[in-house]
Amino acid sequence: MTRYIGQRLLSVIPTALGVAVIVFCLMYFSPYDPAENMGNMYHLNAEQIQNLRLEMGLDRPFLVQLGNWFAHLAVGDLGSSYVQRLPVLDMIGARLGTTLELALAGMLIAIIIGLVTGVMAALKENSIWDTGAMILALFGSAMPDFWLALMMIYLFALNLHWLPILGQGDLKHLIMPAIVVGLTEAGVIARTVRSSLLEVIHEDYIRTARAKGLRERTIIARHAMRNALIPTITIIGINLGAVLGGVVVVEIVFAREGIGRLVVDSVLTADMPVVQGVVLLGSLVFIFVNLFVDVLYAVMDPRIRISSGN
């Protein structure tokens, strides 16, 4: 098992380096000029803008800038914001908790709804429950985040006055954003659970367990679900990584001061170090979430370790 984890960790290194290079290139070759943008913000003349460009190091060749960026990355330095003059890592750290809170709460809702809906649909295959559950799952997957968020604000905040409209603070401020994230992710999980469980319950060992007289609840809980959850774990892992980097719309609609809001503000002000830092960390989180899923795969299914030579 240790060898398997070591192999997976080594495979992450070239991926992370490739992501870092791509992120830098996307910012370097973007049409935005941070010095020009700051000059417009603070009404600087051409000479002051040029001095600012020299101070930022934007006049240096591509390879020099790339090398300097990697040198700072090696010591955990993501640079400083052009606009706020604060370390990028500190700015991300100040907002990371808000985004993690929303992403984890939303995924918890998605997992609960997705598992319950998927299992119910599989156990009542081709029934009205199955059809209804899959229609709801499809509706949830196809529903835009911003539309659901606006509908929930209209119903629960403006009409019923049950929940606060915007901002963050106590649990009441988290309920609507988390439900929006959860409902849009639950559909994929439900469909995956249903298809995986249907495939498993038609296997020979499940029929053997029934022939031995085991209770249906025991067969599903102890035998079928363990194997059916393996592809589901992959979907949950991928969705968690996507949610961590994709709650921008939800944070904007509900005026939450998270990473998504930071990215939008930084793009609007051409604050490239902040955008680079957030995109890079988001990509690394996605990579390591998938690494964790691979390891969890090996724990649940020893055949994966055997096929890898461990």
What is the average pLDDT across 188-201?
86
**Superfamily name and number for 96-268:** MetI-like (1.10.3720.10)
pTM of the model: 0.80
- Choose the weakest-confidence range: 99-108, 142-151, 221-230, 301-310: 301-310
Q: Residue 109 — very low, low, confident or very high, per pLDDT cuts 50/70/90?
A: very high
* Residue 309 pLDDT greater than 60, yes or no: no
* Residue 259 pLDDT greater than 70, yes or no: yes
- Choose the weakest-confidence range: 19-28, 36-45, 131-140, 177-186: 36-45
CATH 1.10.3720.10: which residues of the chain?
96-268
pLDDT of residue 108: 92
Instruction: Give the per-residue SS3 of 88-142.
Output: HHHHHHHHHHHHHHHHHHHHHHHHHHHHHHHHHHHHCCCCHHHHHHHHHHHHHHH
